[in-house]
Chains A and B, each alone.
Chain A
Amino acid sequence: MTAPLELTLGQLGRLDELARGGTATVYLAPELRLPGLGDERFVYKKYNEATKQSAGPSLGTGLSNFVRFRERLPEEQREAWDARIIWPVSVVLDDSGAADGVIMRLIPERYFQEFTKRAGGVNRKPREVETLFGDDVTSARKGLAWVDLPARIRLIRAIAAAYGMMHKQNVVVGDISGRNIIYDPDPARPSIMVVDVDSARIKGNRAVFGMQPHTPNWQPPEALLASAALQRASRSSPSPPVEMLDRLRSRWAIQTTATDVYKFALMTVRILSNGRGGAVSRDPARARGVLKARIGDTAADLLDASFSDDAKQRPTMRDWYDALQHRKPGSRTPSPRVAADETPAAQKTSTLLANGHQVGQWVWVEGQGWVRRGSRPRP
């Protein structure tokens, strides 16, 4: 049994608003149960009018293709897919039969973070990967657990696994940014999920919402070049032929597996050299050093190649995943319990923190590192 391809608004039961994004409003559908999806809970992502307008009449077909794509995966692969990606499981139709939004699984509890507010109280929302890009002082003030380098590398490897799997199934991730990966830093099993996959494209199909621009500060070099050329062309007189402008326009928005790889490398840089300015940095130096020291030359070279201006020179996600599986001979195993290992930063932190120190949902346990509050202490 699989979930129905389409549902009507009336079948969703009660809806409680969870959050509003730029393109949609997301509701919890607490009463909805779907066959084949056991005791999962679901959200309804209802696209706003502007989003539906820009997608045009093919929205329904596009979303159905998305849903069917996941259902056609062999069971084993579907399980691996669902473990890493929040993918639409049904299309929701309005009273007129037009597509209005999608049903997705509710993001699991362990990916939520309570952000401490300045005036007291907390904001609860998914822990997006960009929170790994920031400086340690602000992160601590917000109640985010400190994530050491070994855990950061494991998170990067998990992202490589997810993107690699998507590419293997001929899916281009598309609009990658610090907001569409969420993570759980639990040192016992750091893990990630890919969310907000609306901009993904199944190869051979058009993207559901048409041309998707790259998020600012994530544009690959080919897009930056096309933008600059387009800006120059639109200022020049006499104005250049329309066909030329169209060609440039389609170049700045092009999303491919090679642009995914470039952006994955940017994400790696931002995760490994966090701090002020880290969320918009394109400077690979520090991350390159970390990869070289902890994984080896191959990973450092992959980083360089991923930033190549020539998309054909960039490696594949598979190359990345394979490289990240390796550890430099002699370097310490990134094991679950090394939050207090020999890294200078870890030493600094562990001497600063008293056993039992609590930050948000986390407590510092000497010899173990951050442990989720309320979870059973490890022997």
Chain B
Amino acid sequence: MADSRQANDDRVLALAFYLLVDVSYSMDGAPLNAVNKILPEVIDTIEESPTLGDIVRFGALDFADDARTVLPLGDLRDVESIPNFTARGGTSYAAAFRQLRKDIEHDLAQLKSDGYKVYRPAVFFITDGAPTDNMSDVQAAFNDLTDPGFRGRPNIIPFGVTASLSKAVLDPWVSPKPAESNKAMRSYVYNGDGDAATAIKQIAEVLISSIVASATSVNDAGAAGGFVPPDDDDLDDWI
């Protein structure tokens, strides 16, 4: 019996997505206004499709000097009033990574106990600046988050929303890296004619496309494939 259940695993694969947003003061105004349009759009997409509703679990965090869970990972159809991101303080990547590790650990355990199968979650990480905290702190928090022993170590895709941000600032926080996996992620820095708000609007679009594509993806063995990262063709203005 146990054997036949294993052979015929039809547990539903849940897809966990996190939006991680830098809310340091430089993001105040148009950039955060654009960020605040992301959640309503994602919720509309989920609510228009019961299939997405049943398999996608979405959470949001912000960070400045500290990090906070803005929307705990869950079924977006349950969200009554949509939380807003507001600006405060500096840019502590370390705080962001630590909070993320805590949340993921808790959220994945919850999903599993609810009977779902889960793979590694995906993190869409939006920032407009380099970390203001101590580099060794950031590195330690990142190592902890992406520790190979951590089953929920996420796929992390950093998006820099101003051209002034160098790719070298973001690349260390990509996970997994090309040397580590044949399904490596990458970072994106906006290099188009628009402002940060334009860049953020494009992130919303690729985030939604990625959610939709992930829901129907199939792996080499014909089983649900899980996370499909953004398509570079949809990110022409990004390097």
Contact = CB atoms under 8 A, between A and B. Distances in A.
Given A276-B54, A278-B50, A280-B55, A219 B44 contact: no
Interface stretch (A29-37, A133-141, A189-197): A133-141
Interface size classification for chain A: 35 or more
B27 to A, nearest CB: 20
Contacts of A133: 50-51
Nearest to A234: B221
Given A228-B7, A277-B54, A278-B54, A223 B222 contact: yes
A367 to B, nearest CB: 30
Contacts of B169: none
Interface in B29-60: 37, 40, 43-44, 47-51, 53-55
B9 A228 contact: yes
Interface residues of B, number: 34
B77 A217 contact: no
Contact of A279 (B47, B54, B75): B54
B213 to A, nearest CB: 6
Contacts of A230: 220-222
B222 A142 contact: no
A123 B50 contact: no
Contact of A118 (B40, B216, B224): B40
Contact of B10 (A177, A215, A224): A224
Interface string B48-80: 111101110000000000000000000101000
A229 interface: yes
A119 B37 contact: yes
Contact of B12 (A115, A138, A280): A280
B82 interface: yes
A231 B13 contact: no
Contact of A225 (B8, B12, B54, B218): B8
Contacts of B134: none
B215 interface: yes
Interface string A108-139: 00000001011100010100101101110010
A157 interface: no
Contact of A22 (B44, B47, B49, B213): B213
Contacts of B9: 224, 228
Nearest to B53: A134
Nearest to B231: A50
Contact of A138 (B37, B77, B212, B218): B77
16 contacts: A133-B50, A135-B50, A141-B47, A213-B222, A215-B216, A215-B218, A216-B216, A216-B223, A216-B225, A224-B9, A227-B221, A228-B221, A230-B220, A234-B220, A277-B54, A279-B54
Q: Which 9 pairs across A and B sit closest by C-beta, in order of nearness?
A: A252-B222, A134-B50, A216-B224, A279-B50, A279-B51, A230-B221, A213-B218, A227-B222, A133-B50
